[in-house]
Amino acid sequence: MLWTASVLAFVAIAQAAPKCTHKLKETIASPRDWEILGTAPQDHIIELRIALPQPNFHLLEQQLYEVSDPSHERYGEHLSQDEVNELVAPNPDSLAAVTEWLAEHGIPESQYTRSPANDSFKAKVPVGLAEKMLDTKYHVWKHTTDGDVVVRTTSYSLPEDLHPHIELVQPTTIFARFKGHRTTFHFSDEQNVDPSPARGTATIVDPTSGVKVDASCNTTVTITCLKELYNAVGVETSATNGNEIGITGYLEQFANIEDLQTFYADQRPDALNSSFETVSVNGGENNQTLSEAGAEANLDTQFAYGLTFPTPGTFWTTAGAPPFIPDSGTTTDTNEPYTKWLDFVLAQEKIPQTISTSYGDDEQTVPESFARRVCGGFAVLGARGVTLTFSSGDGGVGDGDPNPATQSCLTNDGRNVTKFIPGFPASCPFVTAVGGTIHVPEVAVDFSGGGFSNYFARPWYQEAAVTGFLEKLPKGLYKGLFNPNGRAIPDVSAQADNFRIFLSGRAVSIGGTSASSPTFAGFVSLLNDARLSAGQPPLGFINPLLYSVGVDGFNDITVGNNPGCGTPGFNATKGWDAVTGLGTPNFGKLKDIVLSV
């Protein structure tokens, strides 16, 4: 077959490569809920991602906070692609060392690629060669619950002299599955999809914000409901001021344009016949067969683009979906599609100013070294003026299972200790994590993911708000179950259930923090529209603003909790809380705030 000759050449060169002393680089306990099916085929191709240290990342982080802090004189002075690439570039010695190492194993420059900043390499190699390079053994692993299959190892080593020059190599120890955050999904009879009062027959006044909301919004959430609830009725945007919004799509979730038109006819007639730009990443498709429409993709695109029309929208469709069956005819393991997206978008000169992602996984399934590296990539986007929103998860304080009765809140470090399980990428301090609410008046929805990171320390912008919350907790409550010094989740919230979308031609009611993230991103995009139209730069990394002058632009949610791990979870309370964050947006107030900084 095609790879046979190359494999033999690779192995022969590798056997002749200089012998070096390997030193353990990373090891993990045998991952919970995974079983070994057998050894990985030696000729199976994997794409090694080799990350080099970024010695000046602290300078990038410093500049990110300067341009994102409304009290700083540099606020809004976002960096260019060249400027951020310079700040994350590796030491030339590291670049030379890794290049030499690859050459020693028969991998010339023509057979690998480097990132624009030269801080990472990607090389497709047979498993047999990867095992020699990393002094390890790859196996085929299967998840015992849903059947996902990956090629991984639980430890790997590098030549000792390379340790200062290589931060991490993947795929090795990552067993994350990166699922969509969606808790509820059911078809409704299109003739009777809305059991609430007919629109226009009753009104609810929200006591927190004082806004008037149609009573039908209590059971069926539409674009109009969100604009009423979040004080954005009558807001119009520009199609030509340079503002854009982006939605990420993964796991063969296809955004159907015919469904979008039906949605527009139902909720946004002025947007009829408009669409979005589809961008393929790593060969991703957007199959327009109506039966292949994805609930996640349709939810994200219909509400994000519906809220912001006529702002141009981008939908990235990134290839890679489990289950994956490794054999010599399948060239690459694509169970980490979101890193493919990050590589792709970091290489673009022009990026939408607001991007929403409704996918994630338990933080503990992602090796800390890998999580930190990915989080650093999000920091780069923030420094370039991009706001990233991520759904906070649908398991309350528990793992990604939205059913508290079946959650497993045990650590996967071999100790099997019960802990609250934060989600990633929501736990990255350089993104905006979005929790969920329900009904009018708003209360916390019980599945709203919230808690504290075990990897990332609490960032300075959260210090006052989160300390105040912790001080109000009963002494000793949940002691040992969470890290009180960790980055706190979520930052904000929005409605997260009973969203009316169209899927495969039918009206559907759907929910999850996968609904709240594109909703909040939509309102951020409206704020960016106002700033750009006023000649101001986009908001970029928004958290420092939200936790300072932005606090007054939120509706504080004080009712509800997020159970999980056999506990009631945290309570929504006055001020920031680990269920709804700062609360839900009041667009009118936020617009005044962001135009004045």
pTM above 0.85, yes or no: yes
- 131 is a catalytic site residue: no
* 238-257 mean pLDDT: 95
Q: How far is CA 538 from CA 341, 482, 550, in A?
A: 22, 35, 15
At 326, the pLDDT band (50, 70, 90 cuts) reads: low
- How far is 394 from 182, CA to CA, in rounded Å? 7
Catalytic residue, candidates 300, 336, 361, 362: 300
Percentage of the chain beyond pLDDT 90 is 81
CA-based torsion, 412, 415, 421, 426: positive or negative:
negative
Return all residues near 94 (Cβ < 8 A) that are at least 6 apart.
52, 53, 164, 165, 166
Task: State the distance between the two ends of the chain, measured CA to CA, in whole angstroms.
Answer: 62
pLDDT of residue 321: 59
Catalytic residue, candidates 296, 442, 491, 529: 296
The yes-or-no verdict on residue 9 having pLDDT over 90 is no
* 259-274 mean pLDDT: 98
What angle (nearest 5°) sits at the alpha carbon of residue 388, between those of residues 461 and 578?
50
All CATH 3.40.50.200 domain ranges in the chain, comma separated: 203-249+266-280+309-317+356-596
- How far is 39 from 127, CA to CA, in rounded Å? 10
The yes-or-no verdict on residue 182 having pLDDT over 70 is no
Q: How far is CA 569 from CA 26, 64, 473, in A?
A: 33, 33, 12
**Binding site for Ca(2+): which residues?**
556-557, 575, 577
Q: In terms of residues, how long is the chain? A: 597
- Per the CATH hierarchy, to which homologous superfamily does domain 203-249+266-280+309-317+356-596 belong? Peptidase S8/S53 domain (3.40.50.200)
Helix (H) or strand (E) holding 308: helix 295-308
The yes-or-no verdict on residue 25 having pLDDT over 60 is yes
| Average pLDDT taken over every residue of the chain | 91
Return all residues near 53 (Cβ < 8 A) that are at least 6 apart.
90, 91, 94, 164, 165, 166, 167
Catalytic residue, candidates 369, 514, 516, 525: 514
Return all residues near 423 (Cβ < 8 A) that are at least 6 apart.
360, 361, 362, 363, 392, 393, 395, 400, 449, 489
Return all residues near 243 (Cβ < 8 A) that are at least 6 apart.
237, 311, 312, 353, 525, 528, 529, 532, 538
140 residue type, one letter: V
At 192, the pLDDT band (50, 70, 90 cuts) reads: very low
At 11, the pLDDT band (50, 70, 90 cuts) reads: very low
pLDDT of residue 180: 65
Q: Say if residues 571 and 401 touch (Cβ distance below 8 Å).
A: no
Residue 254, strand partner residues: 293
* 437-466 mean pLDDT: 97
- The residue among 209 and 274 whose pLDDT is bigger is 274
* 469-487 mean pLDDT: 96
What angle (nearest 5°) sits at the alpha carbon of residue 551, between those of residues 547 and 552?
160
- How far is 50 from 459, CA to CA, in rounded Å? 28
At 336, the pLDDT band (50, 70, 90 cuts) reads: low
pLDDT of residue 361: 87
Return all residues near 83 (Cβ < 8 A) that are at least 6 apart.
none
Task: Give the position of tokens 């009062």.
Answer: 197
Return all residues near 479 (Cβ < 8 A) that are at least 6 apart.
none
- 333 is a catalytic site residue: no
- 43 is a catalytic site residue: no
CB atoms within 10 A of CB 33: 16
Q: Say if residues 316 and 249 touch (Cβ distance below 8 Å).
A: yes
**Binding site: which residues?**
556-557, 575, 577
